Homo-oligomer: A and B are copies of this chain.
Amino acid sequence: MDRQISLKFLLAATLTVVTGIAAAADPLVSWNEGAARSAIVDFVQRITDENSPDFVPVSERIATFDNDGTLWVEHPMYTQLAFALDRVRELASQHPEWKTTQPFQAVLENDLNALAAAGEKGLLELVMASHAGMSTADFRAIVINWFNTARHPRFKRPYTELTYQPMRELLWYLRANGFKTYITSGGGIEFMRPMTEEVYGIPPEQVIGSSIKTKYQLVDGKPVLMRLPEINFIDDKAGKPVGINQFIGRRPIASFGNSDGDRQMLEWTAAGEGPRLMMLVLHDDVDREYAYGPANGLAKTPFGTFSESTMDEAKKNGWVVISMKNDWNQIFSAEN
């Protein structure tokens, strides 16, 4: 081994160890001192202190996390939409009719205006064409392959490295304090599950999300679950408390989101008896990530809208708003 490289390697290894020790000492090392960090630490101390009137038994320590924009990047578009567009491009040779059929034509021609004009109905058609018609096992393999090869257009990294390091620390911190952590996302449950355990430490049975219907079939005598082009459940907005109740059957005591789609989840969490923690991530860091609202005068966006009225509800109810710019000294897990 070249001596200079060897020294460099040793130095890097030492730094990794030192960083590791620092992380052990402070589980929330990527969080700056401030109201957001204090709200987390105070809440956890109160509910884990057996002598506190706010003590919560371990079985009731349920925390739910939105995914897109709360745990990982959702701009310039939802990661799953990027996946759907890539799938449509890949399948196009089997569908010559897509060249002249919207919304597929828009995807193949990279015509974002035509894609926008196709609206929600158009997006649904793209999802059905790209997410249905195969077994759950085949879909899983497709998703894993995509995560291994796709790169974010701005950060040139795998999407799984564009998860927010402070939120990952929060997940581990809560679990170290007896919490069961769940994802409750508008995104597809089968799109998330192949990566949540490795990236967030969240096993598949703690992932709640939108889904299409599946059908049990015997293929060559072997049972498979075929994915059908039919919506089963939309886990967004008023669907989030419905999904939480269906999957968990208990009310969370802490919930984390970033957009209008998370309001009802936070309301549902807040309405329970006893101590509660509701937090919303505000994307106000155009340099290190993105800045969008339109709350606080930030730019409008179709992906992860944080409206003025959600901000009003947060202020009125004491929900804690996390400023990416001020509260986080590191954004992405990739920087580790």
Contact = CB atoms under 8 A, between A and B. Distances in A.
Given A205-B250, A207-B249, A216 B241 contact: yes
Given A222-B271, A223-B268, A271-B222, A247 B205 contact: yes
Contacts of A6: none
Contacts of A298: none
Given A223-B268, A268-B223, A248 B216 contact: no
A92 interface: no
Interface residues of A, number: 32
Contacts of A82: none
Nearest to A207: B249
A250 to B, nearest CB: 6
B271 A242 contact: no
A223 B241 contact: yes
A314 interface: no
A268 B223 CA distance: 6
Given A59-B203, A223-B271, A271-B223, A216 B264 contact: yes
Nearest to A206: B205
B205 A248 contact: yes
Given A216-B268, A264-B223, A267-B223, A204 B250 contact: yes
Interface in A242-263: 242, 245-250
Contacts of A189: 246, 249
A239 B232 CA distance: 13
Given A267-B223, A268-B223, A271-B222, A247 B245 contact: no
A131 interface: no
A214 interface: yes
A136 interface: yes
A193 interface: yes
Contacts of A225: 241-242, 245
A307 interface: no
A123 interface: no
Interface of A: 59, 136, 180, 189-190, 193, 203-205, 207, 211, 214-216, 222-223, 225, 232, 238-239, 241-242, 245-250, 264, 267-268, 271
Given A204-B249, A223-B264, 11 more contacts: A59-B203, A180-B205, A189-B246, A189-B249, A190-B249, A204-B250, A205-B250, A214-B245, A223-B241, A225-B245, A247-B247
30 contacts: A136-B245, A180-B205, A189-B246, A189-B249, A190-B249, A193-B249, A204-B248, A204-B250, A205-B247, A205-B249, A205-B250, A211-B246, A214-B242, A214-B245, A214-B246, A215-B238, A215-B242, A216-B239, A216-B241, A216-B242, A216-B264, A216-B268, A222-B271, A223-B241, A223-B271, A225-B241, A225-B242, A225-B245, A232-B246, A247-B247
